[in-house]
Structure 1
Amino acid sequence: MDDVTRGNRLAWETASRKHVREDAELRGQARAGGALFATEVEMLGPILATGPHVVHLQSGHGLDDLALTAAGARAVTGVDFSATATAAAQRRADDLGRACRYVHAALPGAPLAGGCADLVYTGKGALIWMPDLAAWAADVARLLRRGGHLFVHEAHPAVPLWTWDEDEPRIRPDRGYFAGSHVNDTFPAGGAVEWQHTLGEILNAVIGAGLELRRVEEYPEPFWRADGVDAAAWRGRLPNTFALLAWRPESAAH
């Protein structure tokens, strides 16, 4: 493990302790059925109606997994490189009686059998940890059964450029859309290095892995808001999230 990955892992372990401290709140959200956005439900509805087995790469606190099982998933396997996150998510899922299991591992190279997933779900702060998108996309394609789908709901690649000024949107002078990375100075903090990928790079990585794009959408709403912040960049004028749905064709080779 290189120094950047080691530092990022430590930062995410530290950030994941928040999900332990907020366990009661997260359980309440799970019981209320929250976690997935309406746009996610709309795009995933037909797939979840088939009772898929889902693999969630970079599963974090696991709240999305509980929502996926409530929405129709037969079972969810979450993979995350934080032992704190996977342990806390497993306890919640077990206590709530949900068909979720968690694997502590770094990605790409999920320690799961090829062709084990009907749906690979990921996002909400996942791709920022991936320096090599081609390797990530190849691992996704390996995990998917023929006819299986990839769904990503993620921060828009332009988001690192937006300031949190409340009077009007501005672009940070210390960042660029085509930069390879930047040092996180908000959450999860700790000096974590976030890898930057343009929207074109993300789409081309998926295509290059042999998957076919079915739908791509961009949204003005962020998936996460810092407490006590009302940034002008979040008020509908700029892209803050995107979603993509792709599939592994029935004719695709193993």
Structure 2
Amino acid sequence: MTDSFAVGFAVNKANWDERAVLHAASPDYDFARYAADPAHLSGVVRFDRPRLGDLTGLRAVHLQCHIGTDTVSLSRLGASVTGLDFSGAALAEARRFAAAAGASIDFHEANVHDAVEVLGAERFDLVYTGIGALCWLPSAARWASVVAGLLKPGGRLFIREGHPMLGTLDENDPPVPRYSYFEHAEPLVFDDPGTYVTVDRPLEHSVTHSWNHSLGEIITALLDHGLAVTGFTEHDSVPWNALPGQMVLDEATGEWRLKDTPSRLAASYTLQAVKAG
């Protein structure tokens, strides 16, 4: 790891270890609903259900799986799922949650950069990355090399992520581009005691290090590592209130979009790519 990422890794791990316990107790994650309803899916997976297709019998890995709601949802769609995250606290919550939800999932604690070493090369039919993951990694190329290493020939990457254009905006009204659209060596450093769901106290480990990556850098990295892009859709919504005071919640989908002309902003995207077979 680079020095800046090594520092960021430690800072972010402290932040996400603390978030994990708070998130697991949050009504927005609603752990109890999964136990009560065996067909219930996370909002992120439900949003992309038509694009995910039939997962029956596929061996899947969910990178940066956090507390496991998307991981369990993929399992409920028929995949045999492995989850990987760098936060031991998050995985403790994920294991507890999966057991309560009746899902058999193999969880591993590791930095995503070590995923091939930890899980094995070319083992998976599907690599899944949910929203809010890539910004914690400094290099799209290094991430793409991990994806390529995990996938079997003919295997598929599926990612839903916040749009890098959204990542450039500050929270002014109206928002203006303030941060780099393109990948940058040094991280963006934020100190924010809040998080994206309702929790019962502010974070003590409130500092985070993050990186933006342009769409061109992400797609080029995948192409350079032998994956062909097979699907790409931009959306005017995200599953969290990314610009407080300027977005409204669609109760039907659980997604947030600009309240004034949402077509002005590509807020997230779904990308699929297949490894050469």
TM surpasses 0.5: yes
> Could you report, residue by residue, the CA deviation over 1:79-98 in whole angstroms, capped at 9, with x for unpaired residues?
00011111110111122221
Alignment partners' CA distance in 1, 2:30 and 2:45? 18
Alignment partners' CA distance in 2, 1:171 and 1:37? 30
- 1:148 alignment partner in structure 2: 155
Q: Does residue 17 of the first structure (1) align with residue 17 of the second (2)?
A: no
Alignment partners' CA distance in 1, 2:180 and 2:142? 24
> Could you report, residue by residue, the CA deviation over 1:173-196 in whole angstroms, capped at 9, with x for unpaired residues?
4x2323624223445572211111
Aligned length: 243
Alignment partners' CA distance in 2, 1:154 and 1:185? 22
1:65 Cα deviation from its structure 2 partner: 1.2
CA contact (8 A) 2:67 2:93 kept: yes
Match of 1:81 among 83, 86, 89: 86
> Could you report, residue by residue, the CA deviation over 1:122-161 in whole angstroms, capped at 9, with x for unpaired residues?
0311101111221211111111111110001000011122
CA contact (8 A) 1:234 1:240 kept: no
- 1:137 alignment partner in structure 2: 144
1:13 Cα deviation from its structure 2 partner: 1.2
1:37 Cα deviation from its structure 2 partner: 4.4
CA contact (8 A) 1:54 1:117 kept: yes
1:231 Cα deviation from its structure 2 partner: 1.9
1:32-181 matches, within 5 Å, as: 33-35=40-42, 36-46=44-54, 48=55, 50-73=56-79, 75-110=80-115, 111-165=118-172, 169-173=174-178, 175-178=179-182, 180=184, 181=187
Q: Which amino acid in the other structure matches residue 8 of structure 2?
A: V
User: Which consecutive segments of 4 or more residues in structure 1 shift more than 6 A?
Assistant: none
Question: Which consecutive unaligned segments of at least 5 residues does structure 2 have?
Answer: 196-204, 248-256
Alignment partners' CA distance in 2, 1:101 and 1:169? 44
- 1:200 alignment partner in structure 2: 216
Question: Which consecutive unaligned segments of at least 5 residues does structure 1 have?
Answer: none
TM-score (norm 2): 0.80
RMSD (Å) for aligned C-alpha atoms: 2.3
Percent identity at matched positions?
33
